[in-house]
Structure 1
Amino acid sequence: MVKPHAQQDAATLRRRAEQQLQAMPDHLYGTPDPLRLLHELQVHQIELEMQNEELMHSNEALRLAAYVFSHSHEGIVITDATMRIVDINPAFTAITGFTASESLGRHVSMLVSTGRDGLQSRPLLRTLRRDGSWHGELSCLRRDGSSYPARLFLTLLREPPSTRRSARHYIGFFSDISQLKQKEDELIRMANYDLLTGLPNRRLLTEGLNLAIQRAQRTGKHLAVCYLDLDGFKPINDSLGHEAGDQLLVDTADRLRLALRANDIIARLGGDEFVLLLTDLADDAEYHQVLDRVLQAVGTPQLLTGRLVRITASIGVTVYPNDNSDNDTLLRHADQAMYLAKQSGKNRYHYYDLARDQLIREYHHQLSRLTSALEQGELLLHYQPKVDLRDGQVTGLEALLRWQHPELGLLTPENFLQVLEGSNAELVLGQWVVSQVLQQMEHWRQQGMVLDVSINISASQLQQQDFADKLLQQLARFPLLSPAQLGLELLETAALEKVAQSIQTLLTCRAHGIRFALDDFGTGYSSLSYFRNLPVDMLKIDQSFVSNMLNSPEDRNIVDSIIRLARAFNREVIAEGVETLAHGAMLLQLDCHYCQGYGIARPMPASAVSTWMQQWQQARVWENMPSPQPEP
């Protein structure tokens, strides 16, 4: 090969010489011109120099090609048109073990495996002849018969068209990629398997679960998804050390492998948590048998760092397609069932209850919906008057929660409040009710109406250590309101939970003038000693006794007994559920003059209170009370 600049310099010299030669006369005085002959010699000399330089560069290119051929770290093999080897380089021998004498003249197929990852000659040759090259990975053979993965690049060397010869050669470049494949395999293992136990990890479990579900759909058999957690692993890990804990996990993995069937799948999710996929189940009895073996295998004592230790397992089970959920949900259901197994005493398996889960999900949905109702302003307060039937005085109001549901209309607490019990949302709602009541009381005060209002308090609210502090902080925002205007009503059962704490909270509030009433009295289980010590100002007779007192001597006697009890302990008493004026007359006869109920007024929006009070004073129904006529 001649370098471009050398060709350009020689061509320039030759062109100048020819121009000078053509400019000279053909002859001088009839004789050849010596100068012309001289110039012709110069032209021939330049041509010879060009040819010599081309030859030198060609030799240099050949020496470079030979050096690359000999020193390349890739194996190089050249074959004729029939794929018989005509030349190899030293790297070829280093990789394959075949020397030149053992290779030349032999077919190249001696180097390649014929299995799944080996030579597929026909497709390869078609591509090679069509495109002029082929590259890919093959499983190749060494001289000693061992195989290795190789990356190969083949190219077809055709003769130039000017030669008019059809002869061609193939040249192949290849390298041993065994180390690269080992690293790839290691990365795959790290991505798909737990490094400690060698079990599939969560990623591979997902694939296995997909395949197991597809198999169950195809065969019509069942699949049990089991979530296993070791009982007592943490104390052993903490006391004996992490190495002992790791060994315990490895031993447990081995025991699980032995306990399961051939087609079952086991995976470790991390820590001491495992997942078992029991496939091809004809009925529930099959997974019962397998899990019984698992519990026995895990629970068998084993020697660890010279000590005999024993752990057990809690397993949650859900069965597809009975539980026709997606992968993540199946695992979550099995996890939930596992926690129930632990709560039931451990060392057992617990079957996931779909109906129970639906109830739980419905509960959380209702809780979420009620929380959003508070945020969206759908909750409101109605107020029901309390009166003294002796003179018709309105002694106060009870604030009652309502939900203005966008689809179901106005809902009373019995339709939604139970879902809040014991939740954080119940405390948030309680704070909201206090705030709304105090704002409304201040609004009435500005209108010239000084009204006492009572609020219902739950057990969870009363048991908060900062209940009294928060209540007093809210009252402080309305300095013109007297704390004595605010009353708190609590259920008998709420007051008796954590009695000592409840009494202290009541005493703190009472010291600031806040009044307390014991609601639904007679329906609980308090003893007289508890009742005597509770710092409450009033008893509220449950409406179930009041509403039936005209027709039931037993209920009338209960009402009478409660009234007498209140008087004996120097407490005021009020009756709720007064549905008619006849009920009111009977209560007056029994010496209970504070009343509340539909017979006096239904709960109403705050905006309607002023109008009702005017109508109540004008009607003066307490002056014309009917005579009570109870059944004997």
Structure 2
Amino acid sequence: MTDDKYRTAVDAAAIYSETDLHGTITHINDQFCAISGYSHDELIGANHRLLNSGLHPPEFFRNLWRTISSGQIWKGEICNRRKDGSLYWVSSTIVPIKDDAGQYVEKYISIRFDVTEKQELLEAMQWRASHDVLTALPNRVYLHDRLHQSIAAAQRHGHAVAVCMLDLDGFKAINDRHGHAIGDLLLVEVANRLRRELRTEDLLARLGGDEFVLLLDQVDEVQLPAALQRVLEVLAVPFHIDGVLLNISGSLGVTLYPKDNEGPDTLLRHADQAMYEAKQSGRNRFRFFDVSISKEAREAFRTIECIRRALTRDELELLYQPKVNLRSGKVMGFEALLRWRHPKLGLIPPDAFLPAIERTDVIIDVGEWVIDRALRQIDAWAALGKHWPVSVNIAARHFQLPDFVERLQRLLRRHPDVDPQSLDLEIVESTAIDNLEHVSQCLTDCQKMGVTFSLDDFGTGFSSLSYLKRLPAETVKIDKSFVRDILHDKDDLALSEAIIKLSRTFEREVVAEGVETDLQESMLLGLGCYLAQGYGIAAPMPADQVAEWAAHYELNPR
């Protein structure tokens, strides 16, 4: 095929060139000039290196030349540089052309197609996968990779790395008052301020919401507290956002590698715990993670991770303990009690794992799982004609969430056939006292949906007439510690009697927990308490045993 035939056979959209064995350009088409920005005269006789972008390593071109000089076709994508300095990408096929005898390579022809738009789209997608779109900061994925690199570098060179978890104090109030648009602009400005404060070797990342991570490489431990204080001072300067003056502060939690000789995930978790301590101690301050933390606390951290995995692996389950009317013998409903069926240790009671997670957000995930499973079970029993209400225990951290009502609504919408009145939420007395106004409003809002409430462990805290008046719970539960000794402890008897009378006065149902003997049942009946639960009536049981137990339950004739 003659040279002209090569050239006319090329697609009109293709970028065509010919070079000699040394890469000197001998022929180009108009498309080559158009995309490169060079004229025909500037390109003919010039070496192809004129277009080198500098982005490809030397090995890239060594492999290319090795392939074509051996007579083989090379295909790939190359980034070139235009005359004006801008970059463009081409998908290139370079074909060695041999002499008529087919023995020696005489020249190379290259056919290229512009793939700049595709490459830019790919780069944009890769950027979005590793960056926060709002602030343009690295996200959790990028941070995780960088943490691995920083730890490896610290191990090689023997320097320290600081992992700092930053949470903004007062951000939610700004969002609620001024709207999310102002909140987003504030986050962008926070990111800009923090970026200016950090060194080039440091990293600032956003995990989501108002949580940021500062990764400080090669830190001087003596100077680090002053650097952290500067970060807090920078945040404390008022922000002017869209004509609004905003004031916030920050809480910083810090852990130091290799003193805290852990992996990326654990370092972040330790920094988060230290940040929580900074908030608890007054906010607008920093706290270091205590690497000499007790064995018990380390075990608690391991338990938290195990419970997270237990949720995803469906290792949690609910048992159901009946509540009965001691006078009529009627089954009034059930309390759902959480258990962890460990693959190696068997059935684990809640006291063995709930205390470790009750101050973490894992308790929220567990609580919502319990509500969802209880609603599912109510629906299943209703299909059998058994309309039993079920009560579930709600942890303080869960119930005191600002959006608890909305979360509960979403859970109820998953089970549209379940009557909300079949769900009873039990909160302990201390939860209500900690934030009485919020809890009272939350109870009222949930009751508007039909959900009922019980005050659990009543009498163990600061029980008073005012609490019963201000907390519109339908049921009061006498703590089992009073019921256990009701027969021989005059104080427990007096307290139980007082709770029963208070409940009657405020028109509340009263349920006695922990009933174990006939004599306890008789005493409670004599005091006017008719509803009870406990091992003397029935132990907690799996859901599939409930119907059979209820069918055979008979009131103690005594």
Q: Structure 2 length as normaliser, TM-score? A: 0.55
Q: Please list, as runs of the form range in 1=range in 2, the aligned pairs for 1:364-375 lying within 5 A after superposition.
A: none
Could you say if the C-alpha distance between residues 267 and 290 of structure 1 is closer, same or farther in structure 2, counting changes exceeding 3 Å? Answer: same
Could you say if the C-alpha distance between residues 147 and 303 of structure 1 is closer, same or farther in structure 2, counting changes exceeding 3 Å? Answer: closer
Q: Please list, as runs of the form range in 1=range in 2, the aligned pairs for 1:324-473 lying within 5 A after superposition.
A: 324-356=261-293, 358-362=295-299, 461-463=457-459
Distance in 2, Cα, partners of 1:497 & 1:511 = 12
Aligned twin of 1:113? 52
Which 5+ residue runs of structure 2 have no aligned equivalent? 308-316, 318-350, 367-428, 431-455, 461-473, 513-518, 529-558
Deviation at 1:175, TM superposition (A): 2.9
CA contact (8 A) 2:91 2:113 kept: yes
Q: Please list, as runs of the form range in 1=range in 2, the aligned pairs for 1:108-507 lying within 5 A after superposition.
A: 108-109=47-48, 111-113=50-52, 115-117=54-56, 123-143=63-83, 147-161=87-101, 168-283=106-221, 285-356=222-293, 358-362=295-299, 461-463=457-459, 487=486, 504=503
Counterpart of 2:48 in structure 1: which amino acid?
Answer: S
Distance in 2, Cα, partners of 1:493 & 1:320 = 53
1:309-360 CA distance string (max 9 Å, x none):
2101111122222221111111111112211211111111122234446423
Larger Cα-atom Rg: 1
1:404-455 CA distance string (max 9 Å, x none):
xxxxxxxxxxxx9999899899xxxxxxxxxxxxxxxxxxxxxxxxxxxxxx
CA contact (8 A) 1:200 1:266 kept: yes
Q: Please list, as runs of the form range in 1=range in 2, the aligned pairs for 1:30-69 lying within 5 A after superposition.
A: 67-69=8-10
Could you say if the C-alpha distance between residues 79 and 360 of structure 1 is closer, same or farther in structure 2, counting changes exceeding 3 Å? Answer: closer
Which 5+ residue runs of structure 1 have no aligned equivalent? 1-57, 370-374, 376-415, 426-457, 472-483, 517-533, 536-632
Tell me the SS of whatever aligns to 2:259.
Answer: coil
Could you say if the C-alpha distance between residues 282 and 157 of structure 1 is closer, same or farther in structure 2, counting changes exceeding 3 Å? Answer: same
Counterpart of 2:251 in structure 1: which amino acid?
Answer: S
Could you say if the C-alpha distance between residues 277 and 499 of structure 1 is closer, same or farther in structure 2, counting changes exceeding 3 Å? Answer: farther
Aligned twin of 2:13? 73
Aligned twin of 2:440? none
Question: Is 1:513 aligned to 2:522, yes or no?
Answer: yes
1:279-313 CA distance string (max 9 Å, x none):
22232x32211110011111111222323221011
CA contact (8 A) 2:459 2:495 kept: no
Could you say if the C-alpha distance between residues 73 and 421 of structure 1 is closer, same or farther in structure 2, counting changes exceeding 3 Å? Answer: closer
Aligned twin of 1:438? none
Distance in 1, Cα, partners of 2:258 & 2:86 = 48
Q: Which structure's relative contact order is higher, taking Cα pairs within 8 Å and 6+ residues apart?
A: 2
Q: How many residues align?
A: 369
1:550-579 CA distance string (max 9 Å, x none):
xxxxxxxxxxxxxxxxxxxxxxxxxxxxxx
Which has the larger share of helix? 1
Tell me the SS of whatever aligns to 2:261.
Answer: coil
Q: Please list, as runs of the form range in 1=range in 2, the aligned pairs for 1:92-103 lying within 5 A after superposition.
A: 92-100=32-40, 102-103=42-43
Counterpart of 2:296 in structure 1: which amino acid?
Answer: L
Distance in 1, Cα, partners of 2:108 & 2:263 = 54
Distance in 2, Cα, partners of 1:488 & 1:310 = 59
Distance in 1, Cα, partners of 2:230 & 2:18 = 63
Tell me the SS of whatever aligns to 1:161.
Answer: coil
Deviation at 1:136, TM superposition (A): 2.8
CA contact (8 A) 1:153 1:174 kept: yes
Could you say if the C-alpha distance between residues 252 and 99 of structure 1 is closer, same or farther in structure 2, counting changes exceeding 3 Å? Answer: closer
1:245-287 CA distance string (max 9 Å, x none):
111111111221233333221111111000111222232x322
Tell me the SS of whatever aligns to 1:200.
Answer: coil
Distance in 2, Cα, partners of 1:312 & 1:491 = 53
Could you say if the C-alpha distance between residues 168 and 215 of structure 1 is closer, same or farther in structure 2, counting changes exceeding 3 Å? Answer: closer
Deviation at 1:224, TM superposition (A): 1.7
Tell me the SS of whatever aligns to 2:150.
Answer: helix
Distance in 2, Cα, partners of 1:187 & 1:122 = 30
Distance in 2, Cα, partners of 1:468 & 1:184 = 61
1:335-390 CA distance string (max 9 Å, x none):
12211211111111122234446423446889999xxxxx9xxxxxxxxxxxxxxx
Counterpart of 2:523 in structure 1: which amino acid?
Answer: I
Aligned twin of 2:330? none
CA contact (8 A) 2:487 2:520 kept: no
Counterpart of 2:285 in structure 1: which amino acid?
Answer: R
Tell me the SS of whatever aligns to 1:353.
Answer: coil
CA contact (8 A) 2:69 2:105 kept: no
Could you say if the C-alpha distance between residues 503 and 353 of structure 1 is closer, same or farther in structure 2, counting changes exceeding 3 Å? Answer: farther
CA contact (8 A) 2:168 2:249 kept: yes
Could you say if the C-alpha distance between residues 470 and 179 of structure 1 is closer, same or farther in structure 2, counting changes exceeding 3 Å? Answer: same
Could you say if the C-alpha distance between residues 463 and 149 of structure 1 is closer, same or farther in structure 2, counting changes exceeding 3 Å? Answer: same
Distance in 2, Cα, partners of 1:147 & 1:196 = 27
RMSD, aligned α-carbons: 4.9
CA contact (8 A) 1:278 1:287 kept: no
Tell me the SS of whatever aligns to 1:258.
Answer: helix
Counterpart of 1:344 in structure 2: which amino acid?
Answer: S
Aligned twin of 1:568? none
Deviation at 1:131, TM superposition (A): 4.3
CA contact (8 A) 1:118 1:139 kept: no
